[in-house]
Chain A
């Protein structure tokens, strides 16, 4: 069951296409990464999912029905660029946002106080926002985003401005919300946190969805036939023995270990090479220390996919120009 089904979304601004036929499906109860270079169209997509802007064509299905204005109370959105009313007191402000999300005064106050206690910021309640540091204000913003227990949470760069300790606190809270049943859309440039948190992702580039799927699956697919081998012995002997089964290789400088010189190599094999054959050939030539699959990081996938897509688009453009 998907909480969000964005189908064939197109949005045009004067002079440029923000989204061109983008479809995204976000399964309920998961953390979904929305990735892409700056200006790719992520924020536009988020705004459309959040019912702030309307798409020119295409539709968004929220929890089984077409997204409408009333669904906004089930969504919590923490924008990348975010601020608070400077002159307003923290408590009043939190109450204001809570009420906008449809909470009653009493309920809002009890819930807010719980969160403030949990984050250890109870003594900020009566302070003006302008007295808070950026990180402090971010905590308040996080609380007002999640306070009304939305079914869908959208975080755009949630960790920016946080120190490692508070970033970790936030990460735990996000996971906890997921465990309690919320779905999280997570937009970030920090690929490590995508690996750590997201089950699925979409990569948006130049207003197109160029890659979507499960993080583990795509990593293993993109990393097929990639292996990491550390060994002792002669690299020449190894490559002679393996022959044309190795398509590409990268070998680092040998490291001095108590057992002798140890090499570390990354190998891209001919697709379909049986593992057993590879190991036995390698084993004849050198002493194997470790052998493992080399999964590409999300960072590598990001860069490679975006570059390929840009190159393809440029070629298409050049062809059209001729």
Chain B
């Protein structure tokens, strides 16, 4: 009996890790994640908008030249001013569309219309909007007849960016950015959400399968049911840990060796200057961007993040897998499980949704309590950690989570012990509670 739990863990672990699907997802996921992160930039880089050739009917007589000027940096937009009735120009398919500018456009800026033959694009609309807005504002300003207007405008313009500096309990200063913290928090939460659902359900379905093909009857003749249940949870959990660990190592390696190669030297040196505190913020660089780059090239920081993910992944998984195990033991097939499963899935989803709001303001009292309650704490805490919350909060949350696992596993084992021999009837929650109370 003694080391049987080890044999069970070994079987559960080996069976899953040897699968091709595991190897493929483990190796491909980091690549996919990086692609997803880089996707917006890549899409921008690779998709050149199709050229648009517009006709302009400018009844105000003051807008045409600014549009012409504006198109200088926008290669894909060429315009021709035409003086013809609108209907006939629209009918002329030599143009992609017609921009109609009303005579009273300065007083009534909404009197502009864009007629297009094919689908509109936000790009074109935004370009036209901003050019017209600028021109109309200029025209209106000019109406006040202020002297040296151009010079005043240039002097007044300001580029504002607040640099947030967090002072931790030791009085150490650390420059932070809420935006980056938010994104990192959400990303970690989402990874955890995926793992809790995927691996939790894996425990459940595999118990249902064992029960279904009656191999359970054979196994429990040599292993105590609680050992079998814990062995399965730990075996599957080890697979999850291995996967996250491999991802962490891959991403750290990439950030140490691949990212610096891809990064232009100017940015790398700016990051170094920022870290050294010598960067001139007025030089027109985007500090958020630099900070993000700094984080992705800081192996130590990434490793810490993965450390936190592992800590909460293990605790959260053990806790939720116990619930999933109890449900799996009670039912005969996946269909019957769907109803009971909601007891595990709904809190996970609530935690995910709540984490998103926590990621915008991590310091509310609701955020604090949700990051302590074991049902939501793993995800909500991960969303808060990047903001640099006090360490004691993290440790209290971890301790509560792991103690809750022990309690939940104890209850689950009682249900499991009875559930695995119950066939036929679809159990209700009341049944599960009754089973948990059996001697």
A229 CB contacts on chain B under 8 angstroms? none
Nearest chain A CB to B13's CB is how many angstroms away?
12
Interface hit among A79-87, A282-290, A311-319: A79-87
Least CB separation from B211: chain A residue: A83
Interface membership of chain A positions 17-28, coded 1 if the CB is closer than 8 angstroms to chain B and 0 otherwise: 000000000000
Q: Are A52 and B221 in contact (CB under 8 A)?
A: yes
In this assembly, does B7 line the interface, its C-beta being within 8 Å of a C-beta of chain A? yes
Q: Are B218 and A84 in contact (CB under 8 A)?
A: yes
B6-25 with Cβ < 8 A to chain A: 7-8, 11, 15
Query: Which of A14, A76, A84, A100 touches B4 (beta carbons < 8 Å)?
Result: A100
Q: How large is the interface on A (under 10, 10 to 19, 20 to 34, 35 or more residues)?
A: 20 to 34
Given contacts A88-B15, A97-B222, contact A83 B7 (CB under 8 A): no
A100 to B4, CA, bound (A): 6
Q: Are B217 and A82 in contact (CB under 8 A)?
A: yes
Q: Could you give 28 example pairs across A and B, Cβ below 8 Å?
A: A47-B421, A52-B220, A52-B221, A52-B225, A54-B439, A56-B439, A69-B1, A69-B224, A70-B1, A72-B222, A77-B218, A78-B218, A79-B217, A81-B217, A83-B214, A83-B217, A83-B218, A84-B215, A85-B15, A85-B213, A87-B15, A88-B15, A96-B7, A99-B7, A100-B4, A100-B8, A101-B222, A141-B218
Interface membership of chain B positions 219-234, coded 1 if the CB is closer than 8 angstroms to chain A and 0 otherwise: 1111111000000000
In this assembly, does A50 line the interface, its C-beta being within 8 Å of a C-beta of chain B? yes
A146 CB contacts on chain B under 8 angstroms? none
Give chain A's interface residues, CB within 8 Å of chain B.
14, 47, 50, 52-54, 56, 69-70, 72-73, 75-79, 81-88, 96-97, 99-101, 141, 144
The 10 residue pairs across chains A and B that have the minimum distance between CB atoms:
A83-B213, A83-B214, A77-B221, A79-B217, A100-B222, A83-B215, A81-B214, A99-B7, A69-B1, A101-B222
B218 CB contacts on chain A under 8 angstroms? 77-79, 82-84, 97, 141, 144
Query: Which of A56, A70, A75 touches B221 (beta carbons < 8 Å)?
Result: A75
A81 to B217, CA, bound (A): 7
A1 to B421, CA, bound (A): 33
Number of B interface residues in the complex (CB < 8 A):
23
Nearest chain B CB to A266's CB is how many angstroms away?
43
Given contacts A81-B214, A82-B214, A84-B215, contact A96 B221 (CB under 8 A): no
B223 CB contacts on chain A under 8 angstroms? 100
A59 to B218, CA, bound (A): 24
In this assembly, does B434 line the interface, its C-beta being within 8 Å of a C-beta of chain A? yes
Q: Are A72 and B1 in contact (CB under 8 A)?
A: yes
B222 CB contacts on chain A under 8 angstroms? 72-73, 97, 100-101
Least CB separation from A72: chain B residue: B222
B439 CB contacts on chain A under 8 angstroms? 54, 56
A87 CB contacts on chain B under 8 angstroms? 15
Least CB separation from B206: chain A residue: A85
Nearest chain B CB to A65's CB is how many angstroms away?
16
B219 CB contacts on chain A under 8 angstroms? 97, 100
Main secondary structure of the interface of B (DSSP, over half): helix
A188 to B8, CA, bound (A): 31
A144 to B218, CA, bound (A): 9
A144 CB contacts on chain B under 8 angstroms? 218
A54 CB contacts on chain B under 8 angstroms? 439
Nearest chain B CB to A4's CB is how many angstroms away?
15
A81 to B219, CA, bound (A): 12
A77 to B218, CA, bound (A): 7
A292 to B214, CA, bound (A): 48
A317 to B289, CA, bound (A): 84
A100 CB contacts on chain B under 8 angstroms? 4, 7-8, 219, 222-223
Q: Are B221 and A72 in contact (CB under 8 A)?
A: yes
Least CB separation from A43: chain B residue: B421
Q: Are B214 and A96 in contact (CB under 8 A)?
A: no
A101 to B220, CA, bound (A): 11
Least CB separation from A78: chain B residue: B218
A54 to B225, CA, bound (A): 12
A69 to B225, CA, bound (A): 12
A100 to B219, CA, bound (A): 8
A14 to B215, CA, bound (A): 26
Interface membership of chain B positions 92-114, coded 1 if the CB is closer than 8 angstroms to chain A and 0 otherwise: 00000000000000000000000
A76 CB contacts on chain B under 8 angstroms? 221
Least CB separation from A130: chain B residue: B213
B7 CB contacts on chain A under 8 angstroms? 96, 99-100
Nearest chain B CB to A174's CB is how many angstroms away?
17
Least CB separation from B14: chain A residue: A92
Contacts A76-B221, A97-B219 known; list 5 others, CB within 8 Å: A69-B224, A72-B222, A78-B218, A84-B213, A96-B11
Nearest chain A CB to B10's CB is how many angstroms away?
9
A97 CB contacts on chain B under 8 angstroms? 218-219, 222
A76 to B218, CA, bound (A): 10
Given contacts A56-B439, A96-B11, A97-B218, contact A14 B434 (CB under 8 A): yes
